[in-house]
């Protein structure tokens, strides 16, 4: 898996510490007196240093393997969700993607586990809650997390053998990397082809993954920017235009040079004894000797001598106005990131420049109309040895490109001269305090992923863990020098030395890519032919190699896997502890409160659902809910700007959020429920202020403000600018959701607010908003006011169905109950002044609000290089006895049919099946799929395959095989069912979906007790449903490039107008 660019993270999250799972008392697992001492050698590892970090309630131990030079960090903490990660410094020598392809091939078999694809084969043999591999810009890491001690040992053994002793077979290289092969191996060349080579294409999982990745305009901008900033650090993911230059021998050589203990950084985390880890690691490294490793740390180009400007071509964004297609950013080089104290201060300063609607950069760049949103590289990046700060915009007109630098520098100069607001600094420091108290279930994995980048680039992980020391150093410096932050801005940003990178919109970009690939394909075919006496022999050999690979892939399905370690279904407990929840009505008896009392480190968590009644919302209003929720945290009130409200949110809470929630009934999949969800948390003493802010934002937001319309236009433009990248990144989810909308009421209303329908609506709204006198925007403003009034009246009167969930410590219940009563009373007082708009009813135009009819087979064309497929059909409710067998069948289809057929053989990056009883659907999907026609055939045949394999006692799979597949599927299901939850998420299944402990317990028993007879029943039902030709309940959606040369007839597939393609060429 390609690691997403670090710079894409929102700006505040870069400053605020990751959530910390804290305990009230230090446990023995972190007691230094019970841990190894400095200088002690255990299993070849010498302890170099150790340190207790009280603010994180952990102890860190740094070991050095004397024989190989491997570095090992153990983080001891009272947390049963143990984590392991091994990583290597992998500077890419070129843009062929060799680190990325090697990451894939490494996991395809090893000396101890010589089976095909042990990584995926281990998934159904484990109860892990996280298992993956990442290729970042200059390192590769292999992490997993599990709460089961034996599972930890099993996965650790597989990961160590895979990375240090992989088989690296040529067949795995051509499967995962790239190869020449017939597009559809089982079909003859097209009858109208001019050459027998016409059906030969580039194939390979990573090749197709990166074609999809490079379709993401944000990713493309970031990669092209990095190529200019650090030319010596090549594209680790791989540029498809260069990937076909990589050879098998180069892959082997890269592994030999980089995947060695001398180049390794290993981390373990959790409550398991470090001595056990040392023993395992000592055995794994025993056969290696220390070698000289090139672990060069790549640094940015020198900017001495003045400003540099670079341009690169990029695609047209069909969601954006044609005259606002430029993306441009300015970058400065800051100090060395090894200076943790200065880096922390710079993070504070740059966050204050960028974060929030009230920030100087947002106001001068986006609110002013210069651009639609920040570029993906915007922010302060400390992942390398040299700090990098960038600010940029997408959706810029050509005329404004040259103005951007002056505006940015003027903004920085004004801030530096006038000074930063000290209360804003206090707000960020408060966020840090909350970060140390807020509990999450993924602390260990978050910690590992925070430490690894810096560790590979010269940053001491002990310095990165010394949180209190860093904060106290900053506080002392800031107290002694009131202009400390402003001085840093002047030192690093008010200078001439900078890099301006601009991506120029090029109308022919997509066609140029296609033409380049076709030219390169012809050249590679010619190279292959030149090695043989004749073209016919060369093409026969290409087809023979493809057939051999397919045969090997088929053999892998039936391969004996006894060498792989495994947990058993019996390791899944039949009973599971549930949080002790209680319900209580408020004093006036009209709001039901779900209480969960637990240690929360002094925090209180609040959630509320304001439900909509059946048919209460028109389609027009529902389409506007996402925009309405965003607007609540953008517009401000009559008395306060949003910037002032944001400051209070940061100073008193961990954040406020407003979201849309939909679910079907656990009793009836055809019964849909929807509503607005409010959420917030705060320190206990700030709970009254938290409620005051919630009330203010929800009820006092001023949609009549003179600036409100412009702010709504900003939000629409920002959403439109990110929509294409969201579809490129998560296209399978969009396709699946569109298909599901045709089979389930809950799925349909969800798709309207978070799917293709919402994208189409935002695209059309963005186009309508370009006109300053647009009646459509006037109507939208009235509809937003109407939504606010509806919610206000729900809080004012009977509050039917309004419910609240509160999580806090037992000693804070009375205080929280009183604060909630006051909040509800204040909402009544505020809501009394709000009424439904007395204006005549307004309607969004038919063109703007038009909904798709969710055809049985929908083709959704976008300018992507690949496709995504979604299929859906209805299934029974959560409590139905058929629901559990469908969930098991989905896992069997994923791992026994779809993954091997569509990913391994078809070259798609991913494929799977999902049973979603709370959404009322059973679905299948593909992700970054180069051959949608073939995949549609595989998916359409899934029912017949299931019936043949599982559907009768005389099926092709024996009863023992079917039982084994069922048990493996159960393991996969319970990885999610039993995954650790944060204290804030306890009881949310009950609160949001109405699933109580008894329902959940019965569901657990149903899943554990699924047997072959039940699987045969749902396999037959699936087969019948997929094969039905009349009144079919099956829905399809294909999103992306479509079917290329195999376009189905218009009668089969309905082309759904995305409302975006034509705009790019107007």
Q: What is the pLDDT of residues 155-195, one digit of tens each?
A: 999 999 999 999 999 999 999 999 999 988 876 666 555 57
Active-site residue (options: 176, 486, 674, 968): 176
CA distance linking residue 510 with residue 508, whole number of Å: 6
Q: What is the pLDDT of residues 800-825, one digit of tens each?
A: 889 999 999 999 999 999 999 999 98
3-class DSSP assignment, residue 481: coil
Q: Do residues 919 and 972 lie in contact, with contact meaning Cβ atoms separated by under 8 Å?
A: no
- The pLDDT of residue 23 is above 80: no
**What's residue 771's pLDDT?**
62
User: Can you tell me the mean pLDDT for 274-297?
Assistant: 95
**What's residue 11's pLDDT?**
25
- Tell me the Ramachandran region of residue 273: left when phi exceeds 0, alpha when psi lies from -120 to 50, beta otherwise: beta
- Confidence band (pLDDT; 50, 70, 90) for 776? confident
- Confidence band (pLDDT; 50, 70, 90) for 972? very high
Beta 1054-1055 vs 499-505: how paired, if at all?
unpaired
- Confidence band (pLDDT; 50, 70, 90) for 398? very high
CA distance linking residue 790 with residue 231, whole number of Å: 55
Which burial class, exposed, middle or buried, applies to 730 when counting CB atoms under 10 A from its CB (0-12, 13-18, 19+)?
Answer: middle
Q: Do residues 1056 and 860 lie in contact, with contact meaning Cβ atoms separated by under 8 Å?
A: yes
Q: The dihedral of CA 145, 148, 153, 158: what is its sign?
A: negative
Residues written for the chain? 1066
- The pLDDT of residue 259 is above 70: yes
Q: What is the third-level CATH fold of 576-1066?
A: Cytochrome Bc1 Complex; Chain A, domain 1 (3.30.830)
> For the ranges 19-23, 500-504, 840-844, which has the lowest average pLDDT?
19-23
Q: Do residues 311 and 401 lie in contact, with contact meaning Cβ atoms separated by under 8 Å?
A: no
User: Can you tell me the mean pLDDT for 24-40?
Assistant: 81
- Tell me the Ramachandran region of residue 21: left when phi exceeds 0, alpha when psi lies from -120 to 50, beta otherwise: beta
**What's residue 952's pLDDT?**
61
CA distance linking residue 223 with residue 216, whole number of Å: 11
- Whole-model pTM: value is 0.92
Q: Do residues 610 and 678 lie in contact, with contact meaning Cβ atoms separated by under 8 Å?
A: yes
> For the ranges 47-51, 419-423, 489-493, 1054-1058, which has the lowest average pLDDT?
1054-1058
Q: Do residues 873 and 173 lie in contact, with contact meaning Cβ atoms separated by under 8 Å?
A: no
What does the block give as tokens for 332?
A: 């400065």
- The pLDDT of residue 311 is above 90: yes
Q: What is the pLDDT of residues 610-651, one digit of tens each?
A: 999 888 899 999 999 999 999 999 999 999 999 999 999 999
Q: Can you spell out the DSSP letters for 334-356?
A: EEETT-HHHHHHHHHHHHHHHSS
> For the ranges 97-101, 369-373, 401-405, 960-964, which has the lowest average pLDDT?
960-964
**Is 46 considered catalytic here?**
no
**Is 176 considered catalytic here?**
yes
**What's residue 588's pLDDT?**
72
What does the block give as tokens for 1045?
A: 């040369």
CA distance linking residue 326 with residue 1042, whole number of Å: 27
CB atoms within 10 A of CB 640: 15
- Confidence band (pLDDT; 50, 70, 90) for 777? confident
C-alpha distance across the termini of the chain, in Å? 37
What does the block give as tokens for 49?
A: 């240093």
Q: In what order do the strands lie in the sheet containing 867-874?
A: 910-916, 921-929, 867-874, 1035-1040, 857-861, 1054-1055
What does the block give as tokens for 987?
A: 């009881």
CA distance linking residue 257 with residue 90, whole number of Å: 9
DSSP-assigned letter for residue 633? T
**What's residue 408's pLDDT?**
97
Beta 386-396 vs 379-381: how paired, if at all?
antiparallel
- Confidence band (pLDDT; 50, 70, 90) for 770? low
**What's residue 14's pLDDT?**
25
**What's residue 15's pLDDT?**
29
> For the ranges 122-136, 340-354, 718-732, which has the lowest average pLDDT?
718-732
- The pLDDT of residue 558 is above 60: yes
**What's residue 1056's pLDDT?**
86
What does the block give as tokens for 1037?
A: 């959606």
**What's residue 700's pLDDT?**
95
Percent residues over pLDDT 70 in the chain: 91
Q: What is the signed CA dihedral for 135, 136, 142, 148, rounded to 10 degrees?
A: -120
What does the block give as tokens for 36?
A: 């190894």
User: Can you tell me the mean pLDDT for 926-938?
Assistant: 94
- Confidence band (pLDDT; 50, 70, 90) for 798? low
- Confidence band (pLDDT; 50, 70, 90) for 1065? very low
Provide the H-helix boundaries in 355-494. Answer: 360-361, 398-418, 422-437, 443-455, 461-465, 467-480, 484-492
Q: Do residues 217 and 315 lie in contact, with contact meaning Cβ atoms separated by under 8 Å?
A: yes
What does the block give as tokens for 897?
A: 């049919």
Q: Which residue has the higher pLDDT, 553 or 852?
A: 553
> For the ranges 21-30, 388-397, 566-575, 762-771, which has the lowest average pLDDT?
21-30
How far from the centroid of its chain's Cα atoms is residue 662's Cα? 21
1037: β partners: 858, 870
For the chain, domain boundaries: 576-1066
Percent residues over pLDDT 90 in the chain: 80
CA distance linking residue 133 with residue 85, whole number of Å: 9
**What's residue 635's pLDDT?**
96
- The pLDDT of residue 110 is above 50: yes
- The pLDDT of residue 831 is above 90: no
Long-range Cβ contacts of 191-197 (<8 Å, 24+ apart): 196/535, 196/536, 196/539, 197/525, 197/535, 197/539
CA distance linking residue 432 with residue 437, whole number of Å: 9
CA distance linking residue 99 with residue 95, whole number of Å: 10
> For the ranges 27-31, 244-248, 619-623, 970-974, which has the lowest average pLDDT?
27-31
Nearest to 171 by CA among 163, 162, 181: 181
**What's residue 7's pLDDT?**
33
Nearest to 396 by CA among 357, 369, 376: 369
Q: What is the pLDDT of residues 715-751, one digit of tens each?
A: 999 998 888 888 988 999 999 999 999 999 999 999 9
- Confidence band (pLDDT; 50, 70, 90) for 146? very high
What does the block give as tokens for 695?
A: 């009330």
* Helix 708-729 × helix 731-740 angle, to 10°: 100
Mean pLDDT across the chain, nearest whole number? Answer: 90
Nearest to 882 by CA among 920, 935, 845, 939: 920
Q: What is the signed CA dihedral for 939, 940, 944, 946, rounded to 10 degrees?
A: 30
- The pLDDT of residue 24 is above 60: no
CA distance linking residue 369 with residue 357, whole number of Å: 13
**What's residue 796's pLDDT?**
78
**What's residue 100's pLDDT?**
98
Q: Do residues 17 and 446 lie in contact, with contact meaning Cβ atoms separated by under 8 Å?
A: no
- The pLDDT of residue 237 is above 80: yes
Q: Do residues 722 and 762 lie in contact, with contact meaning Cβ atoms separated by under 8 Å?
A: no
Active-site residue (options: 57, 103, 597, 620): 103
User: Can you tell me the mean pLDDT for 924-940?
Assistant: 95
In the block, residue with structure tokens 């940061």: 650
């Amino acid at each position: 898996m390609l690691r997403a660019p670090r710079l894409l993270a929102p700006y505040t999250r870069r400053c605020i510490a990751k959530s910390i799972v804290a305990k009230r008392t230090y446990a023995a697992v972190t007691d230094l007196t019970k841990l190894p001492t400095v200088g002690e050698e255990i299993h070849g590892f010498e302890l170099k240093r150790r340190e207790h970090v009280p603010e994180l309630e952990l102890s860190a131990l740094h070991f050095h393997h004397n024989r190989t030079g491997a570095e090992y960090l153990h983080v001891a903490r009272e947390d049963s969700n143990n984590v392991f990660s091994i990583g290597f410094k992998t500077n890419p020598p070129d843009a062929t993607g060799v680190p990325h392809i090697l990451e894939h091939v490494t996991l395809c078999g090893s000396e101890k586990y010589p089976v095909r694809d042990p990584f995926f084969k281990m998934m159904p043999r484990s109860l892990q809650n996280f298992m993956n591999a990442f290729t970042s810009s200059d390192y590769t890491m292999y992490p997993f997390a599990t709460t089961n001690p034996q599972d930890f040992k099993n996965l650790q053994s597989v990961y160590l053998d895979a990375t240090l002793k992989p088989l690296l077979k040529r067949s795995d290289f051509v499967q995962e990397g790239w190869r020449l092969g017939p597009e559809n191996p089982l079909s003859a060349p097209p009858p109208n082809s001019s050459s027998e080579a016409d059906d030969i294409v580039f194939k390979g999982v990573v090749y197709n993954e990166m074609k999809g990745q490079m379709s993401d305009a944000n990713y493309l901008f970031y990669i092209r920017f990095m190529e200019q900033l650090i030319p010596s650090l090549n594209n680790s993911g791989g540029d498809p235009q260069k990937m076909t230059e990589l050879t098998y021998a180069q892959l082997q050589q890269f592994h030999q040079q980089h995947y060695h203990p001398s180049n390794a950084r290993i981390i373990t985390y959790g409550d398991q004894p470090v001595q056990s880890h040392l023993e395992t690691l000592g055995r794994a490294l025993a056969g290696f000797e220390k070698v000289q490793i090139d672990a060069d740390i790549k640094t940015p180009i020198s900017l001495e001598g003045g400003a540099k400007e670079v341009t690169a071509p990029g695609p047209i964004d069909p969601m954006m106005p044609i005259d606002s297609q430029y993306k441009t950013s300015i970058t400065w080089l800051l100090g060395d990131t090894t200076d943790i104290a200065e880096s922390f201060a710079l993070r504070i300063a740059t966050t204050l420049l960028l974060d929030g609607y009230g920030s100087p950069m947002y106001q001068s760049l986006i609110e002013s109309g210069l651009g639609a949103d920040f570029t993906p590289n915007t922010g302060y990046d400390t992942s390398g040895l040299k700090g990098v700060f960038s600010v940029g915009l997408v959706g810029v007109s050509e005329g404004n490109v040259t103005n951007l630098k002056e505006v940015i520098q003027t903004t920085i100069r004004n801030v530096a001269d006038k000074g930063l607001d000290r209360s804003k600094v206090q707000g960020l420091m408060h966020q840090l305090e909350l970060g140390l108290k807020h509990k999450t279930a993924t602390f260990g994995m978050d910690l590992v992923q925070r430490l690894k980048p810096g560790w590979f680039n010269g940053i001491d992980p002990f310095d990165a863990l010394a949180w209190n020391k860093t904060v106290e150093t900053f506080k002392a410096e800031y107290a002694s020098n009131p202009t400390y932050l402003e001085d840093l801005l002047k030192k690093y940003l008010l200078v001439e030395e900078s890099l301006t990178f601009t991506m120029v919109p090029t109308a022919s970009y997509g066609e140029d890519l296609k033409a380049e690939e076709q030219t390169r394909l012809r050249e590679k075919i010619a190279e292959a032919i030149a090695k043989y006496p004749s073209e016919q022999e060369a093409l026969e050999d290409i087809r023979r190699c493809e057939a051999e690979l397919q045969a090997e892939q088929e053999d892998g399905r039936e391969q004996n896997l006894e060498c792989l370690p495994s947990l058993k279904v019996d390791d899944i407990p039949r009973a599971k502890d549930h949080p002790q929840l209680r319900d209580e009505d408020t004093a006036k008896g009209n709001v039901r409160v779900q209480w969960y009392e637990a240690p929360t480190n002094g925090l209180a968590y609040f959630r509320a659902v304001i439900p909509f009644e059946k048919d209460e919302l028109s389609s027009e209003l529902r389409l506007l809910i996402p925009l309405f929720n965003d607007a609540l945290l953008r517009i401000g009130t009559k008395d306060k700007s949003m910037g002032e409200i944001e400051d209070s949110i940061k100073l008193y809470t961990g954040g406020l959020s407003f979201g849309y929630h939909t679910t079907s009934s656990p009793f009836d999949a055809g019964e849909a429920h929807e509503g607005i969800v409010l959420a917030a948390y705060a320190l206990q003493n700030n709970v009254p202020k938290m409620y005051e802010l919630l009330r203010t934002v929800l009820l006092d937001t001023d949609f009549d403000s003179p600036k409100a319309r412009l702010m709504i236009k900003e939000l629409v433009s920002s959403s439109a600018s990110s929509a294409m990248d969201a579809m490129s990144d998560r296209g399978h989810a969009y396709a699946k959701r569109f298909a599901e909308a045709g089979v389930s009421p809950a799925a349909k209303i969800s798709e309207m607010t978070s799917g293709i329908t919402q994208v189409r609506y935002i695209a059309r709204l963005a186009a309508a908003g370009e006109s300053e006198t647009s009646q459509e925007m006037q109507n939208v403003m009235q509809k937003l006011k109407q939504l606010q009034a509806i919610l206000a009246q729900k809080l004012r009167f009977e509050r039917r169905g309004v419910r609240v969930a509160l999580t806090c410590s037992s000693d804070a219940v009375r205080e929280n109950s009183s604060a909630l009563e006051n909040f509800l009373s204040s909402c009544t007082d505020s809501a009394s002044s709000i009424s439904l708009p007395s204006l005549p009813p307004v309607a969004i135009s038919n063109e703007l609000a038009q909904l798709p009819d969710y055809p049985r087979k929908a083709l959704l064309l976008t300018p992507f290089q690949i496709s995504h497929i979604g299929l859906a059909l209805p299934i029974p409710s959560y409590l139905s006895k058929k629901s559990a067998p469908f969930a098991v069948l989905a896992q069997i289809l994923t791992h026994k049919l779809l993954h091997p057929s569509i990913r391994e053989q078809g070259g798609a990056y991913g494929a799977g099946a999902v049973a979603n009883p709370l959404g009322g659907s059973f679905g299948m999907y593909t992700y970054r799929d180069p051959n949608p026609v073939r995949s549609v055939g595989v998916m359409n045949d899934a029912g017949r395959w299931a019936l043949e394999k599982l559907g009768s006692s005389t099926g092709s799979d024996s009863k023992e095989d079917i039982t084994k597949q069922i048990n493996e599927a159960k393991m996969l299901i319970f990885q999610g069912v039993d995954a650790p939850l944060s204290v804030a998420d306890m009881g949310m299944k009950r609160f949001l979906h109405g699933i109580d402990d008894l329902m959940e317990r019965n569901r657990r028993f149903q899943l554990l007790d699924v047997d072959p007879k039940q699987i045969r029943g749902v396999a037959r039902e699936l087969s019948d449903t997929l094969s039905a030709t009349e009144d079919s309940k099956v829905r399809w959606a294909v999103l992306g490039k479509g079917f290329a040369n195999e376009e189905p007839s218009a009668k089969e597939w309905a082309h759904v107008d995305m409302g975006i393609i034509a705009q790019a060429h107007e």
